[in-house]
Amino acid sequence: MKWRSMDDRQLDEAIKREIEKELSLIPVPDVDEEWKKFLLRLEELESENKKDRDGSPG
């Protein structure tokens, strides 16, 4: 096998390339889109919370 003829540095680089190749196959969700949804929901909850506080007697 070709791994046996490699020194430690070459072996590290080859392993790194293999890992990067495998990771590139994993689908990643659109983080920006998820973040926007989260912020919109947070705004909704904050506005509901404010309405509840303003509507109730202090």
- Could you read off the pLDDT of 12-27 as tens digits, one per residue? 999 999 999 998 888 8
Alpha-carbon gap, residue 31 to 37, rounded angstroms: 10
Q: How many helices (H) and strands (E) does the chain have?
A: 2, 0
26/1: higher pLDDT:
26
Please state whether the predicted TM-score (pTM) of the whole model is above 0.85: no
Mean pLDDT of the chain: 85
Per-residue confidence (pLDDT) for residue 4, from 0 to 100:
79
How confident is the model at residue 58, as a pLDDT? 47
